[in-house]
């Protein structure tokens, strides 16, 4: 009898552990729409809302693309080394910037010491229950974030400021001091395999830029 009770308890504990665990998404493509606040000037608003944002994740690597008819930017981040490559195209001009781990952290120093507040608000995005948190930076800028609680990306640093968020960020709004609000909302998440070529960095045709 004791033996069977032990097995039942063990199975129950195992079940609770599995249910309580998040699913790590190690391969996916996520597309975000960009919406600018109505007080943003018309030209800027139109440019932002014609820009698409796409995040690709594969294992320990991620790539974030911003693309519209006038420019494109891609950030390829390697989690294990903490390094990043930034590719920019403006018209026919192409630029590449490589950042080591120290430079990558320095580039995002405005997020040091940010305060995170968890809220009780919940909404459904693309079929995933999402919780809300508020991040306040030292300069008083505010990020309002909804993250899926059941899934987490294998590279949480696909946006540096999201690295402490306990789930997959599917919607966020930026309200910088003295600036207008800009919202990013996930419209599609594709869990199919991502081609390795997505993360390849060019060796020719780009001018080297040093990050200031």
Cα separation, 115 vs 111, whole angstroms: 9
Q: Is the entire prediction scored with pTM above 0.75?
A: yes
Q: Which two tokens stand for residue 11?
A: 């199975």
Chosen CATH of 23-208 out of 1.10.3720.10, 3.30.479.30, 2.50.20.10, 1.10.10.10? 2.50.20.10
Phi-psi region of 140 (alpha: psi -120 to 50; beta: other; left: phi over 0): left
Cα separation, 103 vs 209, whole angstroms: 13
Cα separation, 167 vs 24, whole angstroms: 9
Q: What residue spans define the domains of the chain?
A: 23-208
User: What number of other Cβ atoms are within 10 A of residue 173's Cβ?
Assistant: 16
pLDDT at 21: 75
Cα separation, 54 vs 84, whole angstroms: 17
pLDDT at 36: 81
Instruction: Name 64's bridge partners.
Output: 55, 75
Average pLDDT per 10 consecutive residues for the chain, totaling 212 residues: 37 37 93 82 72 95 91 95 95 94 94 92 96 93 95 92 93 82 94 96 87 69
């Amino acid at each position: 009898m004791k033996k069977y009770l032990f097995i039942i308890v063990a199975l129950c504990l195992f079940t609770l552990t599995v249910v309580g665990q998040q699913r790590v998404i190690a391969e996916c493509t996520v597309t975000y729409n960009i919406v600018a606040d109505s007080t943003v000037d018309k030209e800027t608003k139109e440019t932002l809302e014609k820009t698409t944002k796409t995040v690709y994740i594969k294992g320990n690597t991620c790539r974030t693309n911003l693309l519209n008819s006038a420019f494109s930017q891609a950030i390829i981040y390697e989690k294990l080394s903490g390094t990043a490559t930034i590719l920019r195209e403006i018209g026919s001009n192409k630029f590449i910037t490589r950042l080591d781990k120290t430079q990558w952290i320095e580039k995002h120093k405005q997020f040091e010491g940010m305060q995170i507040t968890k809220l009780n608000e919940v909404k459904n995005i693309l079929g995933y229950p999402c919780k809300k948190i508020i991040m306040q930076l030292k300069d008083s800028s505010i990020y309002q974030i909804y993250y899926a609680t059941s899934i987490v990306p294998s590279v949480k640093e696909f946006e540096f400021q999201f690295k402490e968020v306990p789930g997959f960020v599917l919607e966020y709004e930026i309200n910088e001091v003295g600036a207008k609000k800009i919202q990013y909302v996930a419209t599609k998440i594709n869990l199919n395999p991502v081609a390795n070529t997505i993360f390849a960095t060019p060796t020719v045709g780009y001018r080297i830029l040093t990050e200031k």
